[in-house]
Chains A and B, each alone.
Chain A
């Protein structure tokens, strides 16, 4: 699976924000992670 290292670092901060500040459940964060991956895939893993 391809990935963009810079995007991975941004996503990591965002997941921490969702979990800690927004108090989202782990499963909800997983869903967001999956959606973001699909978004990146269709944008051929360009920088955010």
Chain B
């Protein structure tokens, strides 16, 4: 009788885009686009590249318009993620909802229900389409594979027929297509990434593909054009994490508590051409380490004002005191991509041993 009634709880959308109250993520993205242009913060595995290409090809075979191909891509992405979740796999976006949809009575069902609130943007398509275009594997003007794209996934076969309530047909279909994902695919993708980002490959090779971000060392080998960005990334990445954490503490701590000290201002010059860095440039001119609340409230207000959210501030500096609104703030800080895509670049470009 009370069907449809529920207590609220935070979203299961395990990969919602983090809110960026200081604009630091946007700055980092801009910096990362200079250093690692062919990857994103969410391109983490060769396999997802593989399936993205496969789903684009299947969409191309099934549909004529780009919009319909997008819908097919989202459909196939959902299906493989249900299949992965059933096999106990995790570490992919949408895993929570994939698990719950896969465990429902009558599963698996090919009826589309999104795994993420914004699956088109946050799922495999949003993460991989830009990089695939920059790698010249997908057309710039439509959703279709070009150049080496089709040959990379040769052997994946035509779009399979998935039957409802029959996990066997799903396993067979994805197993058959997945056979095309092999060492050769990974090798060719690595080569292509290296060809498109030769300076980055040279720099990573010089620092021996170390896992920990080492943009400063990489700067020596990355070329003149990218050196200033690499040096900035070395200082900015940990610095921005620290500042964002400090801001979160300030918003959530008692208004009476004393504000912690800010880290020293960035010492590396900010190169020209980074358009999103203007609010930070302004703040750095009046960077007083013992006035963390004033400095960060000012930066936050500038960023939110630019976006038209000046009435939704999480923290304000007024009459010499800090006013906070924790109810408006996100509950946690997501450090996604905080290494300027270093780890992703190493993982995807490092030669096989």
Q: Do A and B come from one complex?
A: no
